[in-house]
Structure 1
Amino acid sequence: MSTYREEKRRDQQLRAEQDREDRRLELEAQLEIQRLKAEENRKDADARHRQEQADKKAKQAKAQAKKAAAAAQRAKLLRWLKTNPATLFVAFVMVASIVPAILSQIGALTGASVAAPMAGLLAAMLEGGAWAITFMGKQAEDAGREPRKYRIGTWAVAAVAAAVNFWHGLEAYAAHPWVAFVLGASSLFAIYIWDLKTHGSHGKTKAQKQAEKAHKAHVSARRKHHPEIVEAAVKLQAALPFGVLDDESAFAAAWRIHTGAEPGLSAELYATATTAVLSLGAAFELGDNVREELLETGFKAARLNPFAELTQTPGSQAGIGSNPPEPPAEKPRETGPRGRSDEELDTLLPDALSAAAELVADGKQISATGLAKKLQIRREDALKLRDRVIEQRRLHVA
């Protein structure tokens, strides 16, 4: 019996403990739910705060950008007014001219028994038509088209409007005829001011006109002196697609084809320049061997020459100046024939002097190689003879 009671008591204790545990777990679950909900609410509040801050900054940035744009626009307008005072005054004068012209035409038309609305439309047709054609001409000119027909139309319509104002002025101000001229001019003056400003600012400068004139003269001279090459250049441009070759490129290509050289040069010019250099040297060399007074004249010219550092001295022009370094003579083989003696070289000296004169006449320097070929001797002997020949020529010059 006692055992049953004890077991029942333990069961009751266990159920009580289980109930307490269940309530504890339920309470913890509710607290966790509340914590999560509070965390979510906090995150939502942070997000709303950040969004509000971002919207506020965006509004401030937009306001600052709008303010900066307005300031930039004002600055741009001020710069334009400072740099374009003529445009501002032209606009003022044009308004002051157009308004009286329109009013005068309305008065003239209404005085001719034309209803006021119709008179206003007709006056606007005349003045507005002139300005419509004017602006169309300006647009055509900016696009690179010929504006001449627009300018003719503008002045024709403006002349009709001026005639209407002049006729009205004669009738309305008979006591003061000069007013008629002023009213007539009011239809022309605004057009004249606009035309002067537009074509005065877009017209060619004096330097541009001079450059165009010089270019035309250059093209004319090119056609006169090089007609074959100009014709070949035109054919090249015609053979290729339009715009591939401009005039200068086509002429340069045709010049290279015909002469084989860069533009401005040719085989004849190269030959002329080379011949002139050789002839100058040969003239001095021949003068040394033919007429002694020419060499003396050369020395006097050298003493009086203000540009001596730019020209050769008579000694160098006579072939006895600094010679290019000769390569060292090859050592003769011990088994080969020995060189000529001094006596034999003295015997060859007259022939060597003649050979040297021939070398100089050909525009060449006196060298051992040249003497060896002329005299048909060994190079070692020609080296010794060269020194003796140069010494003799120095003594002759002195």
Structure 2
Amino acid sequence: MSTYREEKRRDEQLRAEQDREDRRLELEAKLAYKRQLAEDERLEKERKAEQARKDGDLKRRQEQAEAKRRQEEKARARAARMAKLGRFARWLNANPVTVFVAFVMASSVIPAVISQVGALGDTGVHVLLAALLAAMLEGGAWAITFMGKAAEDAGRPAAKYRIATWCTAFVAAAVNYWHWAEKLPKAQWVAVVFAASSLFAIYLWDMKTHGSHGKTREERRAEKARREHLAKRRKDHKDIAKEADRLLSALPYGSIDEEEAFAAAWRIHRGAEPGLSPELYAKATDAKVALGAAFKLAEGVSPEIVRAGMLARLYNPLSDGLGGPLSALGRTVPAQALQQAPGGATAQAGIGSLAIDKADENARRNASDSASGNAVKGRTDEELEQLLPEAHKVATELVAEGRQISAAALASRLKIRREDAVKLRDRVIAERKLHLVG
């Protein structure tokens, strides 16, 4: 019996412990659930707060972008306005005449229209009809004016438009004059002023669009000179001018102009460029032959004649030059050299007299001694042949300076021995003499 009770008591104790454990576990589960709920609520709050922050940042960035866009649009609009103002200012600077003409034209047209409205209104015409009729007169004149401007710009005849414009303007002026002449019979000048207001704007526009046309004084002078030149050409060269006209009529229109046709006709008749002829070429050739013959004179020819012949080369009328004996002498001898005391025809060419100066004679003697073995040998003939072009160049420079061609000068400028310079001098003089008399 006791055993049953003890077992029962143990069972009750076990159940009690189990109940306590169950309650503990249940309490822990509730606590854990509450903690989880609290954690979930905290996380949800943090998520919402983060989302709110992100939404705020996005909204702030959008507002900043929108503000920046508005500022850029304002800046672009301001830049566009400034550009328009700049273009308008540049246009004003470039077209001051147009601005003042437009102002004066408006000051002329508006009183004319008001005057015509008053003139028609005084006759009993309704003011609206009077305004329309006045606009018909003044507006019609300007409509025809702009139609004429468009036709003129397109290259079409505009005379009929200008005539119609002036006719309409005179009708409007007559209306204004009639009205004010009756209204103010003692002040006829007022009628004249209002009549002129209908004409002055048209006159001013006509002066602006046509007054600046035409040729300048220089262009008129050039055109007059051209006509005089063509008239003199036809008078002096009738046969060639007639041939040029035939060429112009035979060839396709615009393929050749008057100058080209005359040049072609001249070549056909004269066989030379315009202005020249076989006779002129013959005269020039005869003169050059005579000039070459003058240089073939003996040593005793008058120095003045030689100097005159060389000066004639400076005033050669032919630009191309036909050659001649002087072309072999290099550059033209300066006037200072020609004014020096001459020594004959060869002296004018820088060759000097036929006698050899004492220094060159000594140099020649030294050269002979060198050839016999008494001194150091000079340059070979091949080396001297290579120096010959340089020697000719130095000789030309000496002639241009008005000096004689000497061995001393050649030796100094070519940096060679005097004996070698003597040989080069003899070669240069011999060749220049051949050119002079050839």
Q: What TM-score bracket applies, with the shorter chain setting the length?
A: 0.5 to 0.7
Deviation of the 1:265 alpha carbon: 2.6
Amino acid at match of 2:283: T
Amino acid at match of 1:101: A
Q: Does 1:116 align with 2:121?
A: no
Amino acid at match of 1:244: S
SS of 2:146's partner is helix
1:290-332 C-alpha deviation (Å, 9 max, x unpaired): xx9x948758989x99x983697897996885499xxxxxxxx
Note closer, same or farther for the CA distance 1:309–1:323 as it changes in structure 2 (3 Å cut): closer
Structure 2: tracts of 5 or more residues without a match: 1-61, 315-332, 352-429, 434-438
Deviation of the 1:144 alpha carbon: 4.0
Q: Does 1:309 align with 2:321?
A: no
Structure 1: tracts of 5 or more residues without a match: 1-51, 325-386, 391-398
Report the Cα distance in structure 1 between the residues aligned to 2:202 and 2:304, rounded to whole angstroms. Answer: 78
How does 1:1-398 map onto structure 2 within 5 Å?
Answer: 68-279=79-290, 295=302, 298=305, 309=334, 322=349
Report the Cα distance in structure 1 between the residues aligned to 2:230 and 2:81, rounded to whole angstroms. Answer: 54
CA-based RMSD: 4.4
Report the Cα distance in structure 1 between the residues aligned to 2:82 and 2:160, rounded to whole angstroms. Answer: 43
Contact 1:255–1:263 (8 Å) recurs in 2:
yes
1:72-94 C-alpha deviation (Å, 9 max, x unpaired): 33211110112222211110110
Amino acid at match of 2:184: Y
Contact 1:230–1:251 (8 Å) recurs in 2:
yes
Note closer, same or farther for the CA distance 1:279–1:259 as it changes in structure 2 (3 Å cut): same
TM-score, L = length of structure 2: 0.50
Deviation of the 1:96 alpha carbon: 0.6
Deviation of the 1:164 alpha carbon: 1.4
SS of 1:174's partner is coil
Report the Cα distance in structure 2 between the residues aligned to 1:138 and 1:227, rounded to whole angstroms. Answer: 45
Deviation of the 1:215 alpha carbon: 2.0
1:36-87 C-alpha deviation (Å, 9 max, x unpaired): xxxxxxxxxxxxxxxx9xx999999988766654433321111011222221
Note closer, same or farther for the CA distance 1:295–1:137 as it changes in structure 2 (3 Å cut): farther
Bigger CA drift: 166-175 or 220-229?
Answer: 220-229
Amino acid at match of 1:173: L
Note closer, same or farther for the CA distance 1:145–1:227 as it changes in structure 2 (3 Å cut): farther
Note closer, same or farther for the CA distance 1:241–1:296 as it changes in structure 2 (3 Å cut): closer
SS of 1:202's partner is coil
Note closer, same or farther for the CA distance 1:275–1:118 as it changes in structure 2 (3 Å cut): farther
Contact 2:270–2:278 (8 Å) recurs in 1:
yes
Q: Which has the larger radius of gyration?
A: 2
Residue 32 of structure 1 is matched in structure 2 by none
